Amino acid sequence: MRDERLQTLHQSVKSAPVIMKGDYPYFIHPLSDGVPMQSSELLTAARDLIDDKVNWSKVDKILGIEAMGIPLATALCLISGKPMVVGRKREYGLPGETCIDQSTGYSKGNIYINDIQEGDRILLVDDVVSTGGTLLPILKCLDSMGAIVSACWIVFEKDDGMNYVRSKGDWPLNSLVKITMDGNRISIVD
R_g of the chain computed on alpha carbons: 16
Mean pLDDT of 7-36: 92
Least confident of 22-26, 31-35, 72-76: 22-26
Write the DSSP assignment of 115-133 as a string of letters.
Answer: S--TT-EEEEEEEEESSST
* 1 pLDDT higher than 60: no
* 115 pLDDT higher than 60: yes
How confident is the model at residue 25, as a pLDDT? 85
Least confident of 73-87, 94-108, 109-123: 94-108
How confident is the model at residue 105, as a pLDDT? 59
* 104 pLDDT higher than 80: no
What are the contacts of 67-73 at 24+ separation with CB within 8 A? 67/34, 68/31, 68/32, 68/33, 68/34, 68/126, 68/127, 68/128, 69/125, 69/126, 69/127, 71/31, 71/34, 71/38, 71/43, 72/31, 72/43, 72/46, 72/47, 72/125, 72/126, 72/127, 72/155, 73/125
* 170 pLDDT higher than 80: yes
